[in-house]
Structure 1
Amino acid sequence: MGTAENYQEVLRGKYPAKLHAKNVAEFIVAKGGDKTGTLYLEAQKSRLLEDNDEAEPFRQRRYFYYLSGCNLADCYLTYSMQSEKLTLFIPPIEPEEVIWSGLPTSVEEALEKYDVDEVKTTEDVNSHLASSANSPQTTLYAIPDQVSDETTFLSYNNTDFSQLKSAIETCRVTKSDYEIALLRKANAISTDAHINVMKAASSAKNETELEAVFIKSCIERGAKHQSYHSIVAAGENAATLHYVHNNAPISGQDLLLLDAGCEADCYCADITRTFPISGSFTTESRAIYDIVLDMQKQCTAALKAGVKWDDVHLLAHKVAIQGLLSLGIMRGSPDDILVARTSVAFFPHGLGHYLGMDTHDTGGNPNYRDADPMFRYLRVRGTLPARSVITVEPGIYFCRFIIEPYLKEEGQRKFIDEKVLERYWSVGGVRIEDNILITEEGSENLTPTPKEVEDLVRIIKAG
């Protein structure tokens, strides 16, 4: 397993497409699938913007990338589960396109670059499928709505659209060394960008300026794509969990919440830092920051393979309740508050989610219909396997829209001191988020972004 120091060495190798394909095939066979079957996947198509001759921004299908490591549009792949042969099909050279766009990747270049056994052009897809279906029991595994009209599976005895997608989603939860190295790289680049925002915060006049600092920092380090739309929220804007405007003036607000991360070859960083814009916390914002940092540290310390994520989320609420009681924002018995779920008013979202090629990565099995409000938005349910990567992102928020209904309900308002609460609305919200690799013995934090108070203050004031 690569370390922070040698992730670049790991990345000198090839993305392990054949390992991933083998794992997916074995998963399907273990579920009763056809061991002589063929896996079939298509890349995302290149498209033009509606009513325009410009290309749409391209984002590779993650299912295809997982079994290919190929970020080219209009490609196909097959994997023979019996022979373990992985074949990639890339677009042929179109002379008229070369005039405008230059030479595309050649068959020879693709074979050298990608971890596949054979490279052909897309003109050969149907003939290859016909020749591969040499057994009357052979099954073709594909993903619904991701098969081109011109592709034919008539040579296969069975076509299964039910297993491949879920098999890939499950296998993606546990990461190979190469994937972990990509996540380290994304975290390293994103950390530099977070630090640059901290340095620029005290002189910024608008949230947009700081979003631009983050994006510029990523692009000039080779990461041209963001994992998701950044949240750059000053003051009370941070009380909105997925604040997206990023355009409000910065003038006298206390804290800035920055939730942002870049992609490194389709793998995501997802980091949140909250810090004082001026370099100095107020009494109230420091108190909330300390509680959230304690929540994060205690929850991270509880992690290791086999731990039930639901229990770690519950621990976060227990720490939050004790902290809010110590400030006088909450009152009463911590056990009674926990049973009443009053802490959900201040910490309404889940503790975290799996991370990989998607920010909210696959395999979490959430239950958004859960009757229990404490667990309804928890994106991962059940135990964590070794080599999974999960975010730990507790937060405390002062959102009037969420809290005020609690103040009107008899069973809830008795646990909240409105007079003390009044002093905390301007804090907005505090969230701290790291990307954690689960190991057999414990965990490893992949996120080196500063978060201790003295480090934040030093960076901001030196900016």
Structure 2
Amino acid sequence: MDKKLYSEHLATLRNRYDEILEQCGYETLNVFSGKSKVQFLDDNYYPFRVNPQFKALVPVTDNPHSWVIYTRGKKPKLLFYRPVDFWHYVPPAPQTFWSDEYEIELLSKPADAQQFLTAERAAFIGEPEGLQGWPLGDHNPEPLLARLHWARAYKTPYEMACLRQANQLAVRAHRAAEAAFREGASEFEINLAYLKAAGQGESQMPYGNIVGLNEHAAILHYTHLNTARLPETELRSFLIDAGADCHGYCADITRTYAYRDGEFAELVAAMDEKEQELVAGLKPGVAYPDLHRECHHKVGQLLQQLGVIKTSAESAVASGLTRTFMPHGLGHFLGLQVHDVGGHQSAAEGGITPPPQEYPFLRTSRTIEANQVFTIEPGLYFIDSLLSELKDSALASEVHWDKVEALRPYGGVRIEDNVIVHSDRIENITRDAYEQ
């Protein structure tokens, strides 16, 4: 990563943090990376997941018991944990593109951090378990967190570069996954092909990879990874929702494939067109819920074209019929977290703007602005539990159930891209990565 780009990024962060700390009446921010947690009734640890507000300040994602001490107007201090340990890997002292921007102290024991911490006019961000009696300051104050979360929605050029690179890694892996599917691999084998191509292990993935064949594509967060190969005659469809990590920033990409030509392949192609139309609607000043409503109209059009519904797209949206076939939100903020923070926040000071009552799972109710990054992921599914409810409802007569039964074995389709909103254009970093 470019050293100058990171230096400019940190300068922007320091301006933000200085202003936010002043607004909240603090001088110092103590940010804990977190610690590994022991599994219940065991001596093994759960995979470590870093505090996202720690990696917001420094691109260290895999080192527990570390700290960033940020004091207004001063060079930030990194307390980097390097134990004397013959059981586990000990990371080297940082010497990389970002390390000159920090005053670095090496810790051999977690408790050594206490000598550098202060509670005077200080705030602490992190999980306080096991830190009782430490000089931390106010624990996770809401007014401070609200301002930090709000600011994270606006990405710097460095952050955009990380997100582009994460997409490039993920697209390379998506191509390998599709090839494995075409060769008849099992879900488990497809996932292995994905991880190998990405060059990242499961613990590095931003979320559990969703790899679903046939009916499993209708399970929105399916991560079971069946090890059995299907006979070639039984292969119908494949949905993969999987990402990658670059310096703590996430890719989140979904693709759906038909094994052979036919009606489902036509549905995938049509959804791909609708998805790109929705991406084009990501413009500053547009309310994200309005784009979500437009998505439901497009899903209604597809249902009508397929012959699944008897009514018009407009009527299907108005009655709520489309919600059976697309129960999730159109997309969400993307950044240091897959579902990045602040999507329902009303202002920097806090407050919540809930999603529309009819779309409770929409993760973003904000108005779109420049330098924000979103996912756009329309879908159309045949989910047994939701179809059962629909069949028992007053809307059942609006559906051609024979067509539903014909498409149910394919599970569903979702297409998802990651998009940067600029003041004068949109940048689809997923499609750009596929073109490289």
TM-score, normalised relative to structure 2: 0.86
CA–CA distance in structure 2, aligned partners of residues 397 and 368 of structure 1: 28
State the percentage of identical aligned residues: 27
Q: 1:251-262 counterparts in 2 under 5 A?
A: 251=231, 252-262=234-244
> Contact between 2:34 and 2:126, CA under 8 Å: does it hold in 1?
no
1:325 equivalenced with 2:304 (yes/no) = yes
> Contact between 2:285 and 2:367, CA under 8 Å: does it hold in 1?
yes
What's 1:458 paired with?
Answer: none
Deviation digits for residues 399-437 of structure 1, max 9, x if unmatched? 121122212212x12322223333222221000111111
What's 1:295 paired with?
Answer: 274
Deviation digits for residues 198-237 of structure 1, max 9, x if unmatched? 22222224211111111111127x9972111111111111
Structure 1 residue 121 displacement after superposition:
4.4
What's 1:405 paired with?
Answer: 389
Of 362, 387, 410, 2:341 maps to: 362
SS of 1:372's partner is: coil
Deviation digits for residues 50-104 of structure 1, max 9, x if unmatched? 55555543222111111222333211222222x243122223x65xx25555765
Q: 1:379-390 counterparts in 2 under 5 A?
A: 379-390=363-374
CA–CA distance in structure 1, aligned partners of residues 56 and 433 of structure 2: 31
> Contact between 1:218 and 1:224, CA under 8 Å: does it hold in 2?
no
SS of 2:58's partner is: coil
> Contact between 2:59 and 2:248, CA under 8 Å: does it hold in 1?
no
Equivalent pairs counted in the alignment come to 421
SS of 2:317's partner is: helix
1:232 equivalenced with 2:215 (yes/no) = no
Q: 1:210-221 counterparts in 2 under 5 A?
A: 210-219=190-199
CA 1:85–1:344: 2 relative to 1, 3 Å:
same
CA–CA distance in structure 1, aligned partners of residues 278 and 144 of structure 2: 34
Deviation digits for residues 313-336 of structure 1, max 9, x if unmatched? 111111111222123211224332
CA 1:223–1:245: 2 relative to 1, 3 Å:
closer
CA–CA distance in structure 2, aligned partners of residues 177 and 164 of structure 1: 24
Structure 1 residue 43 displacement after superposition:
1.3
SS of 1:261's partner is: strand
What's 1:345 paired with?
Answer: 324
TM-score, normalised relative to structure 1: 0.81
Of 159, 173, 191, 2:153 maps to: 173
> Contact between 1:182 and 1:264, CA under 8 Å: does it hold in 2?
yes
> Contact between 2:167 and 2:433, CA under 8 Å: does it hold in 1?
no
CA–CA distance in structure 2, aligned partners of residues 175 and 88 of structure 1: 23
1:424 equivalenced with 2:407 (yes/no) = yes
CA 1:146–1:180: 2 relative to 1, 3 Å:
farther
CA–CA distance in structure 1, aligned partners of residues 398 and 37 of structure 2: 55
Deviation digits for residues 120-154 of structure 1, max 9, x if unmatched? 34577545445x94xxxxx312236437224225x
Of 182, 185, 193, 2:165 maps to: 185
Amino acid corresponding to residue 423 of structure 2 in structure 1: E
> Contact between 1:331 and 1:417, CA under 8 Å: does it hold in 2?
yes
CA–CA distance in structure 2, aligned partners of residues 261 and 28 of structure 1: 33
CA 1:224–1:16: 2 relative to 1, 3 Å:
farther
Structure showing greater radius of gyration is: 1
CA–CA distance in structure 1, aligned partners of residues 355 and 236 of structure 2: 36
CA 1:28–1:378: 2 relative to 1, 3 Å:
farther
What's 2:71 paired with?
Answer: 80
CA–CA distance in structure 2, aligned partners of residues 194 and 143 of structure 1: 35
What's 2:56 paired with?
Answer: 66
